[in-house]
């Protein structure tokens, strides 16, 4: 809607009904954040390490792809850090940098999808903490992690351009706390990017992520 072409009174009324992207990020249950995705689409990620493109395929994991689509359209990933990058395994991201946003999505779970593809190099899947726990965190596989298939990790798409950029993401912090010296996910949820910038300044992050092609 191009609100600025309306008369003043109508402009005020109309614009008041159109939520901005930030307000939508605080409303996981809003219908605008739960639309059905196209059968396939691409999301371009501009990061501090360069650009890569993910192609999502709804036939692989419809619930997960719908969530990914709505998050990308709303700008959820903008500013998000790659907080868990483990050489030869995967690069994980998807906790909002704003603690208020992270808090709203922490319990916005989606049902599991049957595993219709496999976790090979370049495939993208949602992270889980067990059945029915997918929210906003995803990971990109660095190698053949097909062992994850039997654990319910259902790929939603794959990197189709820029995998060399994904390979170059900073991995110096390794595994996260408490098993490693990397970021503590609980603190990311509570303190956001302020915590990461202060204690893990070398993490790469997403400058912007946008849907660039839909089928």
User: Residues 128-165: pLDDT tens digits?
Assistant: 999 999 999 999 999 999 999 999 999 999 999 999 99
Q: Spell 160-176 as b/e; 16+ CB within 10 A means b.
A: eebbebbbebbbebeeb
Domains and CATH numbers, the chain: 19-214 (2.40.100.10)
What average pLDDT does the segment 176-184 reach? 89
Q: 115, 108, 120: which is closest to 76 by C-alpha? A: 108
pLDDT confidence tier of residue 19, bands split at 50, 70 and 90: low
Q: Which residue has the higher pLDDT, 16 or 79?
A: 79
Q: Which residue has the higher pLDDT, 175 or 13?
A: 175
What average pLDDT does the segment 80-92 reach? 97
- What is the structure's pLDDT at 17? 45
């Amino acid at each position: 809607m191009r609100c600025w072409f309306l008369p003043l009174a109508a402009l005020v009324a109309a614009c008041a009904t159109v939520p901005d992207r930030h307000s939508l990020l605080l409303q996981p249950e809003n219908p605008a954040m739960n639309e059905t995705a196209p059968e396939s689409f691409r999301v371009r990620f501009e990061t501090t390490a360069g650009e890569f493109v993910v192609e999502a395929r709804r036939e692989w994991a419809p619930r997960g792809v719908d969530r990914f689509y709505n998050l990308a359209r709303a700008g959820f990933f903008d500013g998000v850090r790659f907080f868990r990058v483990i050489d030869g395994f995967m690069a994980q991201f998807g906790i909002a940098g704003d603690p208020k946003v992270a808090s709203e999505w922490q319990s916005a779970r989606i049902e599991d999808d049957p595993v219709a593809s496999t976790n090979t190099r370049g495939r993208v899947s949602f992270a889980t903490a067990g059945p029915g726990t997918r929210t906003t965190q995803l990971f990109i596989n660095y190698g053949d992690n097909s062992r994850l298939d039997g654990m319910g990790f259902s790929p939603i798409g794959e990197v189709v351009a820029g995998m060399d950029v994904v390979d170059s993401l900073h991995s110096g912090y390794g595994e996260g706390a408490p098993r490693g010296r990397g970021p503590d996910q609980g603190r990311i949820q509570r303190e956001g990017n302020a915590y990461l910038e202060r204690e893990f300044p070398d993490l790469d992050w997403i400058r912007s992520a946008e849907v660039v092609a839909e089928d």
